[in-house]
Amino acid sequence: MTSTPLELAEFKNPVLLSGLEYYHGRFFTHSEVAKKLADKNPQLVTVLIENLRPEHYYKNAYGKRSLLERPTLFRELVFDDFFKEYGDSKGNQIYAEWLKKYENNDEEIFNKELRPRYEQQILSKRKDHDKLFKPRRRLVWDRYYNLPEPLDRVDWRNPYDNIFIWTEGKHRYCTRGGSGSSGGRETNSIMGFGFAQMNMSREIPTTILIYSKDNKLLFGANFDSLTLPAYDLGSNYFLDREEEERLKKSINLYRWDRIYDKLTLEI
């Protein structure tokens, strides 16, 4: 591995992330990605996400407070009793069958399957019936992610935000991969390996940005060839080991470390 220190600076190329649209279709394999996007000017932007400084938490300049509706205590107890009776595995299996039966209508499932089973036993154990059905809300604070729409929301469990971009006619489409969820890891692997396959015949430019501890978007580096975070590539997506290694050898994979105003990539 080679250590590459980067001098961080203010990001001054708003066009790079402007005018993007989410792609609402789906790719099922990396080969499908490579076949469909090879002539669509693919490019990658990776945002490395730093933890917010503790002193910025709950300040209006760095995030937004909002009140969200939460389930009533009664509804919460109904689900508690359901999973106590069946356990997580069996309970999820039963609920999945109900989703098919009621066409994903959770409210219908609750009123026709769950409420009749558990309402009387819950009411018989408690005297505070008014409290059971009282509307509840919770206060949440969401950190700002100061990127242009539609990129202005992110799963904060992600240490990075891979934005896969391509052009079709007058439209610039994108999809995103990360490590915060199984779906994010699957997308990251399918798109990452698809881009890697295209990179073998035509190099895909990559830009690395940093979303700082102070909610500032900083420029890190540009690369002429596909350069991806080494983490999670291959997760939640089955690929033959030889094929996986072949594709990984065709691109730059890196880990990173931030010390003061310098970011070091281990490529």
Domain extent listing, the chain: 3-53+145-266, 73-134
Q: What pTM value is reported for the model?
A: 0.78
> What pLDDT is attached to residue 1?
61
At 11, the pLDDT band (50, 70, 90 cuts) reads very high
Say whether the peptide bond before residue 229 is cis (omega within 30 degrees of 0): no
**95: pLDDT confidence band, cut at 50, 70 and 90?**
very high
CB neighbourhood size of 241 (10 A): 8
Residue 257 is predicted with a pLDDT of: 82
Backbone phi and psi for residue 9, each to the nearest 5 degrees, phi listed first: -145, 165
What mean pLDDT do residues 239-262 have? 87
| Predicted confidence band of residue 6 (pLDDT cuts 50, 70, 90) | confident
Q: What is the DSSP string of 135-189?
A: -EEEEEEEE---S-TTSS---TT-SEEEEEEEEETTEEEEEEE-SSSHHHHHHHH
For residue 106, give the amino acid letter. Answer: D
